[in-house]
Amino acid sequence: MPGILREWYNNYMRIEEKELRLTKTRIEALHQLGISDTEELFSYYPIRYDILNSSDIETWQVKQNVTFEGTVTGAVRHWGYGKKTNVIFSVQAFDRILKITVFNRPWAKSLTDGQLVTIRGIYMGKDKVTATSYDLKPLSEHPLITPVYSIKAGIQQRTIRACMEKVYAQLVNEIPDLIPEQYIQRYRLLRKAQAIGSIHFPESENDIRQAYRTLKYEEFLKFFLTIQAVRDEEGEGIVKEPKRFDRNKINAVIRSLPFSLTKDQEKTLHEILEDLSSPHIMYRLVQGDVGCGKTVIAALALYACCLSGQQGALLAPTEILARQHYASLQDILAGTGCRIELLYAGLPAKEKKEILDKLENGETDIVIGTHSLLQEGVQFRKLGLVIADEQQRFGVEQRRRLKEKGERVDLCLMSATPIPRTLASTLYGDMDVSTIETLPGGRKMPVTKYIRENSFRSVLDDVNRVLAEGHQLYVICASVEKNEDYHARDVYETAQNLQKLFKDYKVGILHGKMSSAEKDAVMNRFQNNEIQVLVSTTVVEVGMNVVNATGMIIYDAERFGLSQLHQLRGRIRRGNAQGYCWLLSSSAEEKAQQRLSVLEKTDDGFQISFEDLRLRGPGDILGTKQAGVPDFILGNVIEDTAVIRQAQNDAKYMMENRQDPDFIRAVDWVLDRARSHVSFMD
């Protein structure tokens, strides 16, 4: 790769650099939006576009978005102070006098009679318009298409647009193409500089479509090139010493269980045991819905490792989940002689040292813990298997740090946010995937109701019935304490209000900021039914296993992803009693309403995850943000399957023919990124 290209792709210009000539105010605004270099700036794509549609007033419908030009006529009146203002004025347009209302724009009161204004707003009927914006330029001077960006309070749209225009004008001739020339021609894609220009400064809707085609393909191509490159770097089929264990002993544990394994559990266990006894290092993802029985599979896998004379580690994202796993493994492996320890940050120093000594001396077979397992002082005698539960909550670097405490360690990742098998095989192309779809018998689907207000007063009788029958209730809040910048129900105020409402019941509080001892005390009291109503943050999302808790209220439900809501709802289907979940949300946003309605209709975690991906995008689906693997910003893993397949095939071909001059630029970029970041592969 020529020097200028390597410099461009590997060291994007910082937005503070003098050559960009951005003001200090604009630089600070970009930093607030998480933009620190030109790559991040150009990739800060519009969330939508305002299309200038100046139609005749005779065609306007009530609640329709309208744009028109007019002349201020008569007096301008205003109420309020500061930014809390209400300005009303009249304009003459279309041979009529229209009444305009502008909220929270105090400067509008400076408008004067006779001024020409262009107004964007919502037609309210009867010649009334609520203006969303206005300016003093004639309609003819406005662009047909205006990009709209996601912003924070205090940052204006025009600031983002001005930064984008200035930086793009200076660098447009220096932006190289990463997509090989033959693919640009074959798929009729835009040059990278042209694509960036078309998405940020479109002159037509076709410009936007063409920019999307190009930039989506580039995202997927970079993603699959990176996976392919790192796989090649790590080497497929790295050999290890096969683990040898007596399967009869594992079968004896299975027979001792108070339930039978489902067919999916049996198949997944077989695949894991084959991996352990294979000379190739295991790199497997086990995905399954909430309550599908992944824990028992993890316990049996760790027991097999123990039988082979090696140690196993189970990494959990929270102390609550680590404790739950510890209790479950002790129960499942009781009588096997397997020595199990629990390690977490809140342990007394003396007890912690004893556990670490036993682990290093080989006196412990299985250790379960949180991030504490990653610390330098944690040493194993012979680590053979690492299982990371809720794997998306750990960055690749964290998983690697634990895996590197042994030599050629097998790795199993577990996720309760499942995605359809075909999609999993595409996105997790570098690992084997086991899927547990069937749930154990006897579990009832929780009855879920979406309440279109942030109050449960309409279902208060139902909530009281749950408590009157002797069952317990979770109440989930998005915030711990009241915060003026984050408008959501908080744990403390909600608990106070609920204690007044439920006078005959004890209300408790649980959140992540509490000490380990405080959390233990609350969880034990809830487990023992000394607390009937537990007001909590999402800290209970995984690990809480209180069979008697059958009711759940979730405030501000639109703030959570579908998969997270489904995980939370899983807390109330731990036993055979009917569970009830009430989703509270006053959001008028159409997408939020669509998402929450999904949970009323289905309890299928795979379908819910699919809808979450479709409606919200993938986010960090792979848990790889620390790994240097390109994110999907425009690409949609649900809707863009044809582009995904093509990019995947092209990436494979490019890596197999990496010496082709047309491929060198992209391949070098990927290899440089793979080497300079923590590897995608664990």
- Supply the pLDDT for residue 247: 95
Report the alpha-carbon distance of residue 607 to residue 622 in Å, rounded.
18
Q: Which CATH superfamily is domain 447-602 in?
A: P-loop containing nucleotide triphosphate hydrolases (3.40.50.300)
To which residue do tokens 């010493």 refer?
241
- Supply the pLDDT for residue 1: 41
Looking at the chain, which residues constitute the CATH 2.40.50.1010 domain(s)?
68-142
75: phi then psi, degrees, rounded to nearest 5: -75, 150
In DSSP terms, 70 is beta-bridged to 117
In DSSP terms, 483 is beta-bridged to 486
pTM > 0.75: yes or no: no
Helix, strand, or coil here: 92? strand
* Fold assignment, 247-278+293-415: Rossmann fold (3.40.50)
Report the alpha-carbon distance of residue 272 to residue 278 in Å, rounded.
10
CB atoms within 10 A of CB 314: 28
- Supply the pLDDT for residue 425: 61
As given in the structure block, the two tokens for residue 649 are: 């095939």
Beta strands, E only, 276-382: 283-288, 311-315, 340-343, 366-369
Report the alpha-carbon distance of residue 298 to residue 410 in Å, rounded.
13
CB atoms within 10 A of CB 657: 11
Listed residue (590, 570, 566) closest to 579, CA to CA:
570
- Supply the pLDDT for residue 399: 58
Pair 135, 171: CB distance under 8 Å:
no
Helix, strand, or coil here: 399? helix
Cα 577 versus chain centre, distance = 31
The length of the chain is 682
CATH 3.90.180.10 fits 68-142, yes or no: no
pLDDT along the chain (682 residues), means of 10: 45 73 87 87 89 84 90 82 78 92 81 90 92 88 86 84 91 90 96 95 92 93 79 57 94 93 94 94 84 90 96 88 90 94 88 93 94 85 89 55 79 79 63 81 81 93 94 93 76 94 94 85 91 92 81 93 86 83 90 88 80 62 43 76 89 90 86 55 39
Report the alpha-carbon distance of residue 341 to residue 143 in Å, rounded.
66
390: phi then psi, degrees, rounded to nearest 5: 50, 55
- Supply the pLDDT for residue 371: 81
Q: Angle at which helices 641-656 and 661-676 pack, to 10 degrees?
A: 100
- Supply the pLDDT for residue 532: 96
Looking at the chain, which residues constitute the CATH 3.40.50.300 domain(s)?
247-278+293-415, 447-602
